Amino acid sequence: MAEQAGTGGTGERERVRPDDVTAAAGFSADTLRQVQDEDWSRPAGPLTWDCRYTLLHVCSDFFGYAGQVAGHPEDDYLPVDLKEEEGATVPRLLNAVAATGALLAAIVRVTPDEARGYHPYGVSDPEGFAAMGIVEALVHTYDIATGLGLDCAPPPDVCARTLHRLFPEAPRDADPWQALLWATGRAELPGFARRESWRWHGEPLKG
């Protein structure tokens, strides 16, 4: 599918791929293993959540989005959620990030494009839920890494495909990772002030 999207350029839009989800989950787990022995009770960057809860949130999103794709309810979330396992260590939660990301990728891979599932930002398609999971993983890895004093930079091609699916208004000529941080209210871009509020475009893109 081709899309003209963004304010900073034109061209074909590359679809978000199931492998992008596993790449994002793997990036998150591999990056944060570098600081797994730090104090995860610290705030996760700009968030009020602590680092450990933020990581659990990523696992829950991967799992929940997999349920929306598989069950394709169009009026609400399925009544499933991950509950924090008492005593779960950070290394175990990092393994859970990789596992739940792989689960979402696998379900997206075998689900027809025309399937739809509920999200408050718009009833979405499998590609949309894949992109949502990627955004959650990448930006919250950034939040946690910031809270623990670690730099991170995810794969730019994954960032670009995800950005153009969920934020078609984003500039196309900016660095994809920086543009994704801008789109989610975490950074400024030249000519684009930092966003005070934001939401992604959940509905399938036309084209």
Neighbours of 5 (CB within 10 A): 21
Q: How far apart are CA 35 and CA 30, in angstroms?
A: 10
Q: What is the DSSP letter of 186?
A: S
Percent of the chain with pLDDT over 70: 92
pLDDT band at 85 (very low <50, low <70, confident <90, very high): low
Domains of the chain: 18-183 (1.20.120.450)
Q: How far apart are CA 67 and CA 71, in angstroms?
A: 6
What average pLDDT does the segment 53-81 reach?
Answer: 90
pTM (2 decimals)? Answer: 0.92
User: Does 3 have pLDDT greater than 50?
Assistant: no
User: Does 7 have pLDDT greater than 60?
Assistant: no
- What DSSP line would sit under 153-183, residue for residue? ---HHHHHHHHHHH-TTS-SSS-HHHHHHHH
pLDDT per position as a tens digit, 91-102: 999 999 999 999
Nearest to residue 22, comparing CAs of 86, 57, 53, 66? 66
Place of tokens 């995800």: 162
Cα-based angle 191, 197, 203 (whole degrees, multiple of 5)? 100
Reading the block at residue 62, the tokens are 């991967």
Reading the block at residue 30, the tokens are 């591999």
